[in-house]
Amino acid sequence: MPKHMLIVNPISGRGTGARIAPEIESILNRVELDYDMAFTEHPLHAIKLAQDAVQSGYDVVVGVGGDGTANEVLNGIVQANQNSTAKKAIMGLLPIGQGNDFAYGLGVPLNLEDACQLLKENNRRSIDVGLVRGGQFPDGRYFGNSVGIGFDAVVGFVALRQKRLHGFLSYLLATLKTMFLYYKAPKVKIQIGDQEIVKYTLMVSIMNGRRLGGGFMMAPEAAMDDGSFDLCIVDQVSRARIATLIPHFLKGSQATQDPVSTTRANQVNVLALEGVLPAHADGETLCTDGDRLEIELVPNGLEIIAPQPAYETAN
């Protein structure tokens, strides 16, 4: 029987992590899962807890929280697996955060009972991960869902400061606020393979998953095991034009709009020529005033417990 380490962020989901831990224990005891549980105590603590779990021989390391917790656990597992000569640990998710976009892209259910049952079923698949260098992480930070540069990063920063709302509504309100805070795009040089783009760019989203902010379909056709990122680039536009683009990002139809361009790549470099680069990885701050970010894909970089994607089960 696989041995699981659950890493719980007690403040995830406005304190949901601490409140829901007894229910998680009850469900896992009922389905007879072999597990231990540890709680994070400060930012980046989940990375260390995940590394320790891998080194201690746990088969599955489970992130219990939102996208930030999942990102830290992912980093801990990938780093520890790279340094281990023993068997590799795999990742699991119990999503209880605000956005849960990484879980969404993987098809991991948000219902706690169903997510626990998925852990018990132990269905595994390999996915790509990304590695970004720059900002506060010159040596690199791994990510599962996305790196956002510009407007969408500022939206995340604003959403974190909001206390009354949570989930998708928090991100939607933050988007509206950001229209008045971040509307002068920096001039950037974007290197995509052999292609070089120089222009004023409001947003560069490098997506491994499909969604951001609990409802914005940044890359509706993305797959986490296709060997490439899905890029969404938005040119400098007026605040009024930003407002008209929001419904398209909610539907995933933004590629039909003139200021938006999409492409795929496995390596992207972004350099600020004028202005600065605010950026996030899986919702976690990379920098607020960076000048250069380098992003590369790590094919099949992580094994994770998740349903098989629909395009596989259809074959």
CATH of the domain at 290: 2.60.200.40
Cα-based distances in Å from 247 to 100, 113, 162, 172:
20, 33, 22, 11
Give domain status of residue 230, yes or no: yes
Verify that 96 and 195 share a domain, yes or no. Answer: no
Q: In terms of DSSP bridges, do strands 90-95 and 34-39 run parallel, antiparallel, or are they unpaired?
A: unpaired
Verify that 21 and 85 share a domain, yes or no. Answer: yes
Nearest to 157 by CA among 292, 10, 278, 293: 278
Please say which residue of 102, 122, 142 terminates a domain.
Answer: 122
Q: What is the pLDDT of residue 15?
A: 74
User: Are residues 259 and 200 in contact, defined by beta-carbon separation less than 8 angstroms?
Assistant: no
Q: Angle CA(3)–CA(102)–CA(12) in degrees, nearest 5?
A: 75
Give domain status of residue 229, yes or no: yes
Q: Is the pTM of this model over 0.85?
A: yes
- pLDDT values of the chain reduced to their tens digit, one per residue, 315 residues: 899 999 999 988 667 788 899 999 999 999 999 999 999 999 999 999 999 999 999 999 999 999 999 999 999 999 999 887 767 899 999 999 888 999 999 999 999 999 999 999 999 999 999 999 999 999 999 999 999 999 999 999 998 888 777 788 899 999 999 999 998 999 999 999 889 999 999 999 999 999 999 999 999 999 999 999 999 999 999 999 999 999 999 999 999 999 999 999 999 999 999 999 999 999 999 999 999 999 999 999 999 999 988 655 444
Q: What is the pLDDT of residue 169?
A: 87
Give domain status of residue 40, yes or no: yes
**Could you list the residue range(s) of the whole structural domain that residue 261 is in?**
132-301
pLDDT in tens, 214-247: 999 999 999 999 999 999 999 999 999 999 999 9
Cα-based distances in Å from 148 to 58, 219, 273, 278:
32, 12, 18, 8
- Residue 230 CA, chain-centre distance (Å), reads 14
- For the domain that residue 62 is a member of, what is the CATH number? 3.40.50.10330
φ/ψ (deg, to 5) at 109 = -65, 145
Please say which residue of 90, 122, 154 terminates a domain.
Answer: 122
Q: What is the pLDDT of residue 168?
A: 87
Distance CA 6, CA 112 (A): 14
Verify that 272 and 192 share a domain, yes or no. Answer: yes
Three-state DSSP string of the chain: CCEEEEEECCCHHHHHHHHHHHHHHHHHHHCCCEEEEEECCCCCHHHHHHHHHHHCCCCEEEEEECHHHHHHHHHHHHHHHHHCCCCCCEEEEEECCCCCHHHHHHCCCCCHHHHHHHHHHCCEEEEEEEEEEECCEEEEEEECCEEEEEHHHHHHHHHHHCCCCCCHHHHHHHHHHHCCCCCCCCEEEEEECCEEEEEEEEEEEEECCCCECCCECCCCCCCCCCCCEEEEEEECCCHHHHHHHHHHHHHCCHHHCCCEEEEEECEEEEEEEECCEEEEECCEEEEEEECEEEEEEEEEEEEEECCCCHHHHCC
- Judging by beta carbons within 10 Å of its beta carbon (0-12, 13-18, 19+), is residue 54 exposed, middle or buried? buried
Give domain status of residue 127, yes or no: no
Give domain status of residue 310, yes or no: no
Q: What is the pLDDT of residue 84?
A: 73
Number of domains in the chain: 2
Distance CA 261, CA 71 (A): 27
Give domain status of residue 306, yes or no: no
Give domain status of residue 313, yes or no: no
Token pair belonging to 31: 């389905």
